[in-house]
C-alpha cells in the first residue's frame, strides 16, 4: 500500500538517505485512482464530494459492477489509513523539527510555513552548499536558460563580441523537484496572503509583468531570502526584498 521509506523527513540529521515518496503524494495517488475508476465507468466526479465518508454509499451505488465496486471500497479504505498516517507523521515531523533553531527562522518567511520549513531543511540540509543565490536557483530549477548563436562577428578582420542580448529559453531542467515545489508553493501562497511579499508581487503586475512571470520572480526572491535567513541566522525582514539585499 505504501513504501516503507515514507518517513524520510522524521530525522532531519540523517545524510544521504535514499529518496522516496512523501505520504502526501501517496494520498494524492489514491485519490486520483479513485476518480479514475469512476470516470472509466462514465461517472462524473468533479469536486471533493466523492472522497467524503458520508457520501460514499451514494457514490458506490452508482457503480453497477460488483467487482469494480469492491475495488472502489478498497481505495476508500486505503485513503482513510493514509490520511490517519499522514496526521501522525505530521505530528512526529513537527516534534523533531522543533529541535532545530533554523526552522523557527525559516517559518517566519511569508509562504514558508511549518511543514514547508521542515521539508526544506530535510531536502536542502545546509545552506552552505550554495555560495550564491544563483547557485540555489539553478539547483531548484529556477535558473534561466539562455542560448545564443553568432556570439562573435568579424569586424575589419578582427573578432568582436556581438552586442545583441542572449535569448532566454526557459528554466533549467536539471534540478531538485522537491525544492522547486516548495518555493513555487511558497510563492503561490505569499502572492495571495497579505504581507510584504504580496505587495512585491502586485508591484510586478503593475509594471506589466505577466502573473506567471511575477510568481516566478517571487519564487526566486523567496529562495534568495531563505539563503540569507538560514546562513546568517536572522529573522525575515522586508528590506530583503530590495534588489541589493537579495
Identify the pLDDT of residue 24. Answer: 75
Q: Please say if the pLDDT value at position 82 is more than 50.
A: yes
Identify the pLDDT of residue 15. Answer: 42
pTM flag (> 0.75): no
Identify the pLDDT of residue 161. Answer: 77
Find the mean pLDDT for residues 193-215: 91
The tens digit of pLDDT for each residue in 7-38 reads 344 444 444 444 445 677 788 899 999 999 99
Nearest alpha-carbon partner for 102 in 14, 6, 218, 228: 228
Name the pairing type of β-strands 144-147 and 152-155. unpaired
The tens digit of pLDDT for each residue in 128-173 reads 999 999 999 999 988 887 766 667 777 888 888 777 666 667 787 8
Q: What are the backbone angles phi and psi of residue 152, rounded to the nearest 5°?
A: -120, 150
Identify the pLDDT of residue 147. Answer: 67
Amino acid at each position: 500500500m505504501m513504501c516503507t521509506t515514507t518517513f524520510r523527513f522524521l530525522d532531519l540529521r540523517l545524510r544521504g538517505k535514499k529518496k522516496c515518496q512523501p505520504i502526501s503524494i501517496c494520498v494524492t495517488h489514491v485519490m486520483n485512482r479513485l476518480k479514475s475508476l469512476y470516470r472509466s465507468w462514465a461517472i462524473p466526479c468533479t469536486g471533493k464530494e466523492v472522497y467524503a465518508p458520508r457520501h460514499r454509499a451514494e457514490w458506490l451505488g452508482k457503480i453497477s459492477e460488483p467487482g469494480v465496486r469492491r475495488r472502489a471500497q478498497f481505495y476508500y479504505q486505503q485513503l482513510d489509513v493514509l490520511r490517519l498516517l499522514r496526521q501522525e507523521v505530521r505530528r512526529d515531523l513537527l516534534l523533531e523539527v522543533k529541535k532545530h533553531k533554523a526552522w523557527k527562522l525559516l517559518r517566519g518567511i511569508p509562504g514558508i510555513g511549518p511543514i514547508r520549513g521542515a521539508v526544506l531543511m530535510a531536502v536542502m540540509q545546509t545552506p552552505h552548499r550554495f555560495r550564491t543565490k544563483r547557485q540555489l536557483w539553478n539547483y531548484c530549477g529556477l535558473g534561466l536558460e539562455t542560448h545564443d548563436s553568432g556570439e562573435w562577428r568579424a569586424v575589419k578582420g578582427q573578432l568582436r563580441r556581438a552586442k545583441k542580448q542572449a535569448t532566454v529559453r526557459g528554466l533549467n531542467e536539471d534540478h531538485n523537484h522537491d525544492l522547486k515545489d516548495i518555493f513555487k508553493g511558497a510563492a503561490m501562497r505569499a502572492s495571495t496572503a497579505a504581507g510584504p511579499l504580496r505587495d512585491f508581487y502586485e508591484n510586478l503586475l503593475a509594471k506589466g509583468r505577466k502573473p506567471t512571470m511575477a510568481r516566478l520572480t517571487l519564487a526566486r526572491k523567496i529562495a534568495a531570502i531563505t539563503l540569507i535567513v538560514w546562513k546568517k541566522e536572522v529573522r525575515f525582514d522586508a528590506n530583503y526584498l530590495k534588489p541589493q539585499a537579495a
